[in-house]
């Protein structure tokens, strides 16, 4: 049976704990799993959404406004709206983090659309990916 809360985008996984419908748009919360040597997504900022990352296991590297932060288990990083950031796992083990975004504008529907655009035969249409990002208030940097 398919796990409705799990969304696979390329090599990364998003497992929703609270989606935009459950919170009436107040927030979204999900586990974000990034395999070793993966970089996701492209540098961007959120127009209207703040993000909090809490490390669960492994170490995730997040570049925020040009400064690299290593987020290990038990560590937290706040990403205010409007700040350019990207995530990657430069380490030899899978990294997992708890992500909370408020308000819940970038939720399940966004990630489902991204999965459809990225999980295709051949290369994804980058302009289509950027259009989805812009639709949900993510601005490619």
Query: Taking phi first (over 0 means left), then psi (-120 to 50 degrees means alpha), and beta for anything else, what does residue 45 get?
Result: beta
Alpha helices, H only, the chain: 108-118, 126-135
Task: Round to whole Å and give the CA distance between 46 and 136.
Answer: 9
Residue 1 lies in a domain: no
- Per-residue pLDDT at 39: 84
Written as six digits, the tokens of 131 are: 């259009």
What is the CATH number for 108?
A: 2.60.120.10
Strand pairing category for 67-72 and 95-102 = unpaired
Contact 7, 13 (CB under 8 A): yes
- Per-residue pLDDT at 1: 65
| Planar angle of CA 76, 79, 82, nearest 5 degrees | 175
User: In 3D, which of 72, 73, 27, 22 has the Cα closest to residue 48?
Assistant: 27
Task: Verify cis geometry, omega within 30 degrees of 0, for the bond prior to 131.
Answer: no
- Per-residue pLDDT at 3: 85
Taking the chain (141 residues) in runs of 10, the rounded mean pLDDT of each run is: 88 97 98 93 94 98 96 99 96 97 97 97 95 96 88
**Full residue range of the structural domain in which residue 97 is found:** 6-140
Q: How many domains would you assign to the chain?
A: 1
The kind and range of the H/E element at 52 are: strand 50-57
Is the pTM higher than 0.85? The answer reads yes
């Amino acid at each position: 049976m398919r796990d409705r809360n799990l969304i696979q985008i390329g090599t990364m996984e998003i497992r929703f704990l609270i989606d935009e419908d459950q919170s009436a748009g107040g927030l979204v919360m999900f586990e974000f799993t990034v395999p070793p040597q993966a970089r996701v997504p492209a540098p961007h900022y959120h127009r209207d959404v703040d993000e909090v990352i809490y490390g669960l296991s492994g170490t995730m590297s997040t570049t925020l406004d040009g400064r690299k932060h290593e987020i290990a288990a038990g560590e937290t990083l706040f990403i205010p709206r409007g700040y350019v950031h990207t995530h990657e796992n430069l380490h030899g083990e899978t990294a997992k983090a708890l992500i909370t975004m408020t308000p819940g504008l970038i939720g399940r529907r966004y990630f489902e659309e991204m999965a459809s655009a990225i999980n295709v035969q051949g290369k994804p249409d980058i302009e289509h990916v950027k259009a989805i990002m812009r639709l949900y208030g993510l601005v490619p940097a």
